[in-house]
Chain A
Amino acid sequence: MFLPLARRALAGAAVVAGVIALTFVLLRAAPGDPVEQLVGPAATPEQVTLQRHALGLDRPLPEQFAAWLGRFARGDWGRSIVTGRPVRAVLGDAVPATLELAGLSLVLSYLLGLAIGAVQASAGPRLDGALSVTTVTLFALPGYWLGLALIIVFTYWGRALPAFGAAGLDADALTGWSRAGDRLRHLALPLATLTLIGIGGTARYVRGAMRDVLSQPFVRAARAKGLSTFQVTRRHVARNAIIPVVTLLGLSLPALFSGTVFVETVFAWPGVGRRLVEAVQARDYPVVMGATVVSAVLVVTGNFLADIATAWIDPRVRQAVR
């Protein structure tokens, strides 16, 4: 059980290491460097040289990488060029916010997608067709645009839900339930957006996976021996169809993270995605680097958990892994 999982964890670590190296090389290969932005247009060449030396940018690339890696491993991720805050502090606040938004939306969109896909797989052509139109439309919706539409309806017209940020101006003065309620009201629109765009893909995939299983001979055999439709679905179809669905869970994590980037930007949700976009727009290299690493770690960890889940629910994989 442990050896293959350890191998997979190692592969995940390799991916993170690759992301770190790739981002570092790309940041240094690109034209222009942060020094010019830091010192401003009025700086003399001596000041530029001094600043470059202070940041260690005048040393050879491998040496810079080794130095950066050493500091990174010791927990010193540098400071934001724009605000001067330590990168770890900037991202430390952002990770829980992203996990909250992405995690809840993953659970919700999976439950709803599973339900819709399962209904479609067993429904007649008319209902299946209508739901297919719905799911393909949800699948095609750009998250940021859906977010804007929801803002118009629920914030400007309905005056019901806040559209920006994770807490109201008075949140610090609130306590207990009213504070939690404030958080939930701020969460509602971004969560709804991310969930809606996630449902489409999941439902489409579940429908396909269940149809694949339904056409298997063992399902016909189960029917032939007189099991009820419910029994066939629960005991024979669902148990087999769940395996590719859990695999999809791992594969859909990069897309989920992409979704949070746009949704967080539209709703000013203080997560990793929004920090990344802000840093990218301000060319704040240390924050870009940190946010890239954090997002790679989140995605790889999620993939690893999905692998464990697959091994846990699929006796064949469990057997092979042993």
Chain B
Amino acid sequence: MRPLLRDRRAAFGVAVLAIVAAASVAAPLVTGGRPTAQGDIVATRFLPPLSGDGGGGFHVLGTDRFGRDVWTRLVYGARVSLAVGTLAVLLSITLGVVVGAAAGVGPGAVRLPLLALTDFALALPRVVLLLVLATLWRPSAALVVIVLGLTGWMPVARLVQAEVRSLAARPFVEGAVAVGSSRGRVLWRHILPNALTPVIVAAALGLGNAITLEAGLSFLGLGVQPPAPSWGNMIASGRDTLVNAPWVAAAPGMALVVIVVACTLLGDALQDAWDPERHSLTLPRAPSGRPR
């Protein structure tokens, strides 16, 4: 743990995520009102950043085409991004750990079909699947969580499966079996806790990925629906006013970049702390039985 705290990448990642989380929890305190609040649209729309609206309101990041405060929408949009991202990652990690553990300790009749299923799901273009699913059901934040969770578990399952199988051959597991622990207890108490470190790395990287994809879906109009703010639909609405009000799309885009960089750097730092010898990134191993 010690080297992790000294790692500047980890410090940056944690700091950014903590600030964004704090701001989105305390959104009513750090913003001037509701994200959908709009007054006299003609007088207050397209105000550039750092300008007052004449009615006592001050807009740090300007206003959009309905005169809504961009900063307020950005902070409330962070709520959506973080909540959707976190829930989606929790769902995909749960699925991944269950599938990976079952494949790791199960007999061949369980393992091989599960691995085949994982390879199959890994070969699907994720965005295509997201688009198809988002077409069929009415778009909403809950749907995005489910869809992202269902399409994101495969790398975790692969990692856990590999880790569980290598742990199962270690002496302390043999010891636990020798003293008569049940299979479930060995898995739950001895193997899984040791297999979770790579899962944490995958979670950090997966969070950035999920936030990006949520924004992408909302950008295409298939995620969070306006007028509720999400970084993706803010960029989409700013796209129409790119020339005369570039700040509407610029702010949420920069926020996205910063938070994804934070997640990625945190994941890198965790990876290095977990396994300093290995520099390769946590990528799913090559599909199918490639000899190694």
A and B bound? yes
Binding site for B on A (CB under 8 A): 8, 11-12, 14-15, 18-19, 23, 26-27, 29-31, 136-137, 139-142, 144-145, 148-149, 151-152, 156, 204-205, 207-209, 211-212, 215, 244, 247-248, 250-251, 254, 257-258, 261-262, 265-266, 276-277, 280-281, 283, 288, 291-292, 295-296, 299-300, 303, 310, 316-317, 320-321
Q: Other than the known A137-B257, A148-B249, what 6 A-B pairs have Cβ atoms closer than 8 Å?
A: A140-B208, A142-B257, A148-B235, A152-B243, A303-B123, A321-B291
Is B216 in contact with A31, judged by CB distance below 8 angstroms?
no
Contact of A31 with B137 in the complex, beta carbons under 8 Å: yes
Would you list 27 pairs from A and B whose C-beta atoms are within 8 A, ordered by A residue?
A11-B119, A15-B123, A23-B132, A27-B136, A30-B137, A136-B261, A139-B261, A140-B256, A140-B260, A140-B264, A145-B257, A151-B242, A152-B243, A209-B279, A211-B279, A251-B286, A254-B123, A254-B125, A257-B128, A258-B128, A276-B128, A276-B131, A280-B132, A288-B131, A295-B128, A299-B125, A317-B291
In Å, the complex CA distance between A303 and B120 comes to: 12
Q: Does B290 contact A (CB under 8 A)?
A: yes
Q: Are B287 and A280 in contact (CB under 8 A)?
A: no
**Among B128, B268, B281, B287, which residue has its beta carbon within 8 angstroms of that of A292?**
B128
Is the pair A145, B261 in contact by a Cβ cutoff of 8 Å?
Answer: no
In the complex, the answer to whether B136 meets A248 with C-beta atoms within 8 Å is no
Tell yes or no: B74 within 8 A of A by CB.
Answer: no
Query: Which residues from A are CB-within-8-Å of B242?
Result: 148, 151-152, 156
Which residues in chain B, 188-229, are within 8 Å of chain A measured between CB atoms?
208, 212, 215-216, 219-222
Q: A8-B288, A26-B136 are in contact. Are A144 and B123 (CB under 8 A)?
A: no
Assess whether B128 is in contact with A300, with CB atoms less than 8 Å apart: no
A276 to B124, CA, bound (A): 15
B219 to chain A, nearest CB (A): 6
**8 closest A-B pairs by CB:** A30-B136, A140-B260, A258-B127, A211-B279, A145-B253, A320-B291, A208-B279, A208-B280
Task: Return the chain B residue nearest A306 by Cβ.
Answer: B286
- CA gap between A276 and B222 in the complex, in Å: 13
Interface of A, secondary structure class, is helix
CB distance from A157 to the nearest CB of B (A): 9
Shortest A288–chain B CB gap in Å is 6
**Contact: A261 with B128, CB < 8 Å?**
yes
Within 8 A of A (CB), among B226-246: 235, 238-239, 242-243, 246
Q: Given known contacts A251-B286, A254-B123, is B137 in contact with A208 (CB within 8 Å)?
A: no
Listed residue (A8, A280, A295, A310) with the most chain B CB atoms within 10 angstroms of its CB: A280
Which residues of the other chain, B, contact A209 by a CB distance below 8 angstroms? 279-280
A205 and B280: CB pair below 8 A? yes
Bound complex: CA of A251 vs CA of B285, how far in Å? 9
B138-167: CB near A (< 8 Å → 1, else 0) gives 000000000000000000000000000000
- Which positions in B face A, CB cutoff 8 Å? 119-120, 123-128, 131-137, 208, 212, 215-216, 219-222, 235, 238-239, 242-243, 246, 249-250, 253, 256-257, 260-261, 264-265, 268, 277-281, 283-284, 286-288, 290-291
CA separation between A205 and B137, bound complex, in Å?
37
B282 to chain A, nearest CB (A): 10
- Contact indicator A156/B279 (Cβ below 8 Å): no
Say how far B246's CB is from chain A's closest CB, in angstroms: 6
Contact between B256 and A145, CB atoms less than 8 A apart: yes
- With A136-B264, A151-B242, A280-B222 known as contacts, the answer to whether A299 contacts B123 (CB < 8 A) is yes
Bound CA–CA A142/B128 (angstroms)? 17
Closest to B256 in A: A142
If A296-B125, A317-B291 touch, does A142 touch B281 (CB 8 Å cutoff)? Answer: no
Residue of B132, B212, B220, B261 near A288 (CB, 8 A) is B132
**Residues of A close to B222: CB separation below 8 A:** 280-281
**Residue in B closest to A262 when the chains form the complex, CB atoms:** B216
If A26-B136, A247-B286, A317-B290 touch, whether A261 touches B127 (CB-CB below 8 Å) is yes
Residue contact B133 to A300, C-beta cutoff 8 Å: no
How far is A303 from B288 in the complex, measured between Cα atoms in Å?
11
Looking at the assembled complex, report how far the CB atom of B136 sits from the nearest CB atom of chain A, in whole angstroms: 3
Nearest A residue to B134 via CB reads A280
Minimum distance in angstroms from A63 CB to a CB of chain B: 21
Would you give the shortest CB distance from A163 to chain B, in whole angstroms?
A: 10
Chain A neighbourhood of B249, CB < 8 A: 145, 148
Compute how far the CA of A222 lies from the CA of B64 in the bound complex, rounded to whole angstroms. Answer: 62
Q: Taking A211-B279, A295-B125, A300-B123 as contacts, is the C-beta distance between A262 and B219 under 8 angstroms? A: yes
Q: Tell me how far the C-beta of B267 lies from the nearest C-beta in chain A, rounded to whole angstroms.
A: 10
Task: List, in ascending order, chain B residues with CB within 8 A of A15's CB.
Answer: 120, 123-124
Query: What residues of chain A lie closer than 8 Å to B125, measured between beta carbons?
Result: 254, 257-258, 295-296, 299
